[in-house]
Amino acid sequence: MVKAIFFDVDGTLVSFRTHTIPPSALEALHTLRAKGIKLFLSTGRHPVMLRSVEGLFSFDGAVTLSGQYCTAGGQVLRSNPMPPEAVEELVEAEAGMDVEYMYAFVSHAEKTAYVILRVADNDAAEKVLRDHGIPILSGEDVY
């Protein structure tokens, strides 16, 4: 049986005050690793935003972009990007969704985009997205 622990980054593993992993947490990570437990990051962040954390400890993988991009053992297990032009549609639709924040990571070279957004009212946001013809995946479709 594989044992694994997934750590949130912001405010859990990484201090909001110091923006780094505290020495006590690093010690705990090493203790867990010595017990054969696999250690993963789980975050809404883009993988590029994890370099400073990964420089402090070598994790076994990560669930990033809120599940849109997942790795383990140096292998990409899941990559669920959207075409860059879909980001433009999403930005146009966002006006009616009461968006608290939106991050778009676009690679024109790879013709991919990943978007993270937070809305105040999920039902209202779903309606706006559907009205704009933007597909919404269910949990069953994603997992």
pLDDT of residue 140: 64
Q: State CA 76 to chain mean position distance.
A: 14
Going by pLDDT thresholds of 50, 70 and 90, the confidence category of residue 137 is low
Q: Is 57 left (phi over 0), alpha (psi -120 to 50) or beta?
A: beta
Going by pLDDT thresholds of 50, 70 and 90, the confidence category of residue 121 is confident
C-alpha triplet 62, 115, 82: angle, nearest 5°: 95
Instruction: Summarize pLDDT for 88-99 with one digit per residue, the tens.
Output: 888 888 777 888
Q: What is the pTM of this model?
A: 0.79
Instruction: Summarize pLDDT for 35-86 with one digit per residue, the tens.
Output: 999 999 999 888 988 988 989 999 999 999 988 899 999 999 999 888 888 8
Q: In whole angstroms, what is the distance from residue 73 CA to residue 61 CA?
A: 6
Three-state SS string across 55-95, please?
A: CCCCCCEEEEHHHCEEEECCEEEEECCECHHHHHHHHHHHH
pLDDT of residue 139: 60
